């Protein structure tokens, strides 16, 4: 059953697949992590991936270029972030309720619009996508090189986003303020930090990142748009954030782990045609749940996550 682990070529293939499958998770997890660090619970990641995927399809279709797709995807992500921010930060509606509403809206809106905008629906598209970029030298490494270091640009962007989020949060002044706002908005406010502005920025940027996860699916993997293409990835990303204890680097590894299980189960579906494929397909979701449950010594989220700030609360 696990023969592919022994053959280096096959193993490298599985690892390459794992990396590809983990990219949307990484985008969404980094986006969600940024939001939560600033004190906003962004449960809408699932919907934002969907928005990103749809936006990418729209952009690529109308501009005839993958870059056009990227721009529109980010615009959709940012707009959904703005919505979450206005409702969840300014108007102080329960952020979980807002998040769920955004997911439901994204589901209906994208499925209707894709039928409206694309002749024959999103399924019959053949979009212009991104091609792979070889990293000099590294991509020449035998076996591993081609699968790991010859990827499309978005893969590198995703990995860069991990470094970027980590650097901003822990090595810059604004990152210190973000962490303060997520832990104790009252203290940050008294220290003269613009709590709302910072939260807005984090939510909009974070949501755009999550949308990139959807854009990646459309522009590099399937080159079409289908209903509910996000398939629970937003929630797996949420699990990765918890598992990563709100640290970008650990959350990144959690995403890789989930991607790996996904790649392994795909491989097993292929290798074991006698066993119903669903047994394997359920694996990544099960692993995410088990990982959450097995999490020893509960990690604490930023103390103010999900709590709208009201200066004049008495």
Residues that bind another protein (CB under 8 A): 43, 83, 87, 91-94, 96-98, 100-109, 111-113, 115-116, 171-177, 179-180, 183-184, 186-193, 231-232, 235-236, 238-239, 242, 276, 278-279, 281-282, 285-286, 288-289, 292-293, 295, 298, 303, 311-312, 314
Least separation in angstroms between residue 131's CB and another protein is: 32
Nearer to another protein, 8 or 311 (CB): 311
> Looking at beta carbons only, is 11 or 281 nearer to another protein?
281
Looking from the CA of 257 toward its CB, the CA atoms found within 13 Å total 22
- In Å, how far are 11, 74, 119, 145, 190 from 87, measured between CA atoms? 47, 20, 35, 46, 24
Closest to another protein by CB, 186 vs 253, is 186
> In the numeric block, which tokens belong to residue 276?
């119903």
CB of 65 to another protein, least distance (A): 24
Supply the minimum distance, in Å, between the C-beta of residue 165 and another protein. 15
Alpha helices in 86-130 (DSSP H): 95-117
Euclidean distance between CA atoms 282 and 17, whole angstroms: 17
Query: How near is the Cβ of 99 to another protein at its closest, in Å?
Result: 9
Looking at residue 244, the DSSP 8-state letter turns out to be T
DSSP state of 64: S
Instruction: End-to-end CA distance of the chain: give it in Å, rounded.
Output: 62
Q: Which residues contact 71 (CB under 8 A, 6 or more apart)?
A: 59
How far apart are the C-alpha atoms of 134 and 148, rounded to whole Å? Answer: 10
Q: What is the DSSP letter of 44?
A: T
Q: Cβ 193 to another protein, closest distance in Å?
A: 5
Tokens matching residue 266: 């795909």
Look at residues 25, 8, 2, 7 and name the one whose alpha carbon lies nearest to residue 216: 25
Smallest gap from Cβ 295 to another protein, in A, equals 8
Of residues 8 and 108, the one with the C-beta less far from another protein? 108
CB of 178 to another protein, least distance (A): 11
Given the complex with another protein, which of 90 and 249 has the nearer CB atom?
90
> Which residue number, 70 or 251, has a Cβ lying nearer to another protein?
251
Nearer to another protein, 111 or 152 (CB): 111
């Amino acid at each position: 059953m696990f023969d592919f682990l022994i053959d280096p070529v096959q193993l490298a293939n599985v690892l390459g697949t794992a990396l590809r499958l983990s990219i949307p998770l990484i985008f969404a997890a980094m986006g969600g992590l940024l939001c939560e660090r600033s004190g906003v619970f962004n449960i809408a990641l699932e919907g934002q991936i969907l928005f990103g995927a749809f936006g990418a399809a729209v952009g690529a279709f109308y501009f005839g270029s993958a870059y056009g797709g990227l721009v529109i995807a980010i615009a959709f992500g940012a707009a959904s972030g703005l919505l979450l921010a206005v409702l969840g930060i300014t108007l102080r509606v329960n952020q979980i309720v807002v998040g769920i509403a955004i997911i439901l809206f994204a589901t209906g809106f994208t499925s209707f619009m894709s039928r409206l905008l694309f002749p024959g629906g999103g399924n019959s598209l053949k979009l212009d996508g991104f091609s792979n970029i070889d990293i000099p030298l590294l991509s020449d490494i035998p076996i591993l090189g081609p699968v790991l270091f010859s990827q499309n640009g978005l893969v590198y962007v995703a990995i860069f986003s991990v470094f970027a989020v980590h650097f901003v949060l822990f090595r810059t002044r604004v990152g210190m303020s973000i962490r303060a706002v997520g832990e104790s908005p009252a203290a940050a406010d008294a220290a003269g930090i613009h709590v709302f502005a910072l939260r807005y920025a984090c939510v909009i940027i974070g949501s755009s990142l999550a949308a990139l996860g959807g854009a990646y699916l459309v522009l590099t993997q399937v080159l079409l748009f289908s209903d509910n293409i996000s398939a629970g990835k937003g929630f797996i990303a949420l699990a990765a954030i918890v598992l990563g204890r709100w640290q970008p680097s650990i959350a990144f590894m959690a995403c890789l782990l989930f991607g790996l299980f996904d790649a392994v189960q795909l491989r097993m579906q292929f290798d074991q045609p006698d066993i119903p494929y669903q047994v394997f397909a359920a694996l990544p979701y099960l692993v995410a749940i088990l990982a959450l449950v097995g999490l020893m010594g509960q990690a604490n989220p930023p103390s103010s996550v999900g709590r709208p700030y009201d200066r004049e609360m008495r």
